[in-house]
Amino acid sequence: MVERPTKAKVWLSLYLDSESPRTFLNRAESARQSGIDTDDYRKAGSYYYRYWKKAIRNWVDERGLSEAALREKLVKLIHGHTSELKVIEGVIEEDTMPSCCRILIKSAKMDKDGVIQRSSLVEITRENPEVQRRALDMAYKAAGMYAPEKVDAKVSADVAATGAITMDITGLRKAIARADE
């Protein structure tokens, strides 16, 4: 007898189905599509996510998308470079080229007058500041450095009467000093 998949297994297969843009890594939509009978698909999706958390983590690790692998990719992006290919006419020697350039192909053609035309396909590698900026932005987000500043606020005893809240002056000074930096 063939074992029928449970709704939990159906949810997991839908959640990890990269071919389905509606359910891929979408907890609530995976719950909706798996036929779970509930009023709150978000709650059901969260439940099944917690239930399958270990299996999901293994799946992510197998595809090189674990947190450590993503951090490695982020570090590579911070040092992001772009390459462009150019055809340069004439004779070029490898030792005369700057370190950011390399010759990929050298060619020689003879034109109809019998003159040999030489050209080279050169790869020029440069830093890409836009890729580096975006990678740095992602790194800040991953590190939680976009979180709002925390300032200690103490409520005085007479708040009920006056509605005034006094701030801890040292916490306020620290926040102002950080903002000025």
The count of C-alpha atoms lying within 13 angstroms of the C-alpha of 163, restricted to the half-sphere facing its C-beta, is 0
| pLDDT one-digit tens code per residue, 37-95 | 888 999 999 999 999 999 988 888 888 777 777 777 777 777 778 888 888 888 888 88
Phi then psi for residue 107, to 5 deg, are -135, 155
pLDDT band at 110 (very low <50, low <70, confident <90, very high): confident
| pLDDT one-digit tens code per residue, 117-173 | 888 888 888 888 888 888 777 777 766 666 655 655 555 555 545 555 555 566 666
Q: Where are the domains of the chain?
A: 7-62, 82-126, 148-181
Residue 1 has pLDDT above 60, yes or no: no
CA distances for 85 relative to 21, 121, 168, angstroms:
35, 7, 60
Q: What is the pLDDT of residue 69?
A: 74
Report the interhelical angle of 7-15 vs 53-62 (nearest 10°).
30
In this structure, what token pair is assigned to residue 92?
Answer: 């070029």
Residue 115 has pLDDT above 70, yes or no: yes
> Burial level of 48, CB count in 10 A (0-12/13-18/19+)?
buried
Pick from 124, 59, 53, 29: which is nearest to 85 by CA?
Answer: 124
pLDDT band at 116 (very low <50, low <70, confident <90, very high): confident
